Amino acid sequence: MTAPLTDGDLTLRLALDDALVVRFEVENGQPLGTVEIRRTTPGVGLVMWALDGGAELAQRALRLLSEYAFDELGLERLQVEVDVELRSSARVAIRSGFRREGVLRGAALVEGERRDVAVYGMRVDDPRPDTVTGWTALMDSTLPKKRVIAHVVVRDTRGRVLLCQVSYKKDLELPGGVVEPDEDPATGASREMEEELGTALPLLGVLAIDWLPRWEGWGDAVEILYDGGVHDPALIDRLQPDGFEIRGVSWHAPDALVGLVSPLNARRLPMILAAPDQLHNLSNGTPIIS
């Protein structure tokens, strides 16, 4: 028989233990509700609760239940699924040690309406929420993750800019691309150039920092435009487009970009090329006026 679980004040008493569900009744001198684990796949359990008494009490109950699941049931992962509108339940999940992992779009049907469901997970080897690394990992899981883009502005001695014909859109684009996780932007810019053009030119500094709003399905992003230097026009003959993402490269004058590049680059590139010795602080290609 399973002994009650307790933290000295709150008590969980086993009420059901079968092949699918392990349920505990929760009390602190009076009945407060239930917490349970539903076995979904081998080693994984879905945690649910129906409790009176507030968020702190629910958090304490879930912490007791989680340790029982790992230590006694031998589970390796626990999961909580919460309607994204139920912010109090989301806080309970986080403070109980569950990291936010993503959103299942339209996964729940509530009164005939499709609702998004946020998924929170905890592994048996995760640092616990009462440790420094455990708490920072929990907070990190809830904070925004903004995309970072690093492009390189390469000029020739005639004042033209190097642009790439890419395979996935009509607009000509600067060399570079999205920075990978745990990669600094300058390294990302050099890596992208090497992958796309077979050559990573030295980066001489930052020409512009731009914020990009949501656009055509993309989330917002921060973009850094690096100075790839001024080169002889013959540089283009040394470049080796990968033939997959980059189909070709060419030089273009700043006053001839409209219709060739995106409206964003048509706004900002002539301005940047006209003043390459200053740092341009931009928002959607427009100078930020302080």
Considering the domain architecture, whether residues 137 and 13 belong to the same structural domain is answered as yes
Into how many domains does the chain fold?
2
pLDDT in tens, 105-122: 999 988 899 999 999 999
- Among 142, 164, 181, give the residue marking a domain's end: 142
Reported as a pLDDT band with limits 50, 70 and 90, residue 289 is: confident
Q: Judge whether 120 and 142 are in contact, CB under 8 Å.
A: no
- Among 142, 167, 185, give the residue marking a domain's end: 142
Reported as a pLDDT band with limits 50, 70 and 90, residue 142 is: very high
Considering the domain architecture, whether residues 224 and 239 belong to the same structural domain is answered as yes
pLDDT in tens, 38-91: 999 999 999 999 999 899 999 999 999 999 999 999 999 999 999 999 999 999
- Among 142, 165, 189, give the residue marking a domain's end: 142
Q: Judge whether 265 and 174 are in contact, CB under 8 Å.
A: yes
pLDDT at 62: 97
Long-range contacts of 167-173 (CB under 8 A, 24+ apart): 167/244, 167/245, 167/246, 167/247, 168/245, 171/260, 171/261, 171/262, 171/265, 172/250, 172/252, 172/260, 172/261, 173/261, 173/262, 173/265
pLDDT at 43: 96
pLDDT at 216: 82
Considering the domain architecture, whether residues 111 and 155 belong to the same structural domain is answered as no
pLDDT at 235: 97
Structural domain containing residue 254? 147-287
